[in-house]
Amino acid sequence: MADSSLPRPGCCKWAEGDAGNYTFPCSNSVEPGTSYCAEHSAIVYIPPEERRRSRSGSGMSLTFRRAA
């Protein structure tokens, strides 16, 4: 059993696979207080609808900024 099937502390918890059979292929380090690297958090925190919109190239990226 390889422990590559578990996310490592401080590393991106981006998971791929089916239920019960996840792998964590991303070993980028995370920002403090987050669970994903910058690349994957950008994917995780954007709803699919938003991703489609920005893909169509309307140029409205980053309009979803949150006030902390």
User: Footprint of Zn ion on this chain (CB under 5 A)?
Assistant: 12, 14, 26, 28, 37, 40
- Residue 29 to residue 41: CA distance in whole angstroms: 12
Instruction: Decide whether 7 or 37 has the Cβ nearer to Zn ion.
Output: 37
- Residue 57 to residue 30: CA distance in whole angstroms: 29
* Residues linked to residue 16 through DSSP beta bridges, in sequence order: 23
Closest approach, Cβ 59 to Zn ion, in A, equals 26
Sequence length of the chain is 68
Closest approach, Cβ 25 to Zn ion, in A, equals 8
Closest approach, Cβ 21 to Zn ion, in A, equals 19
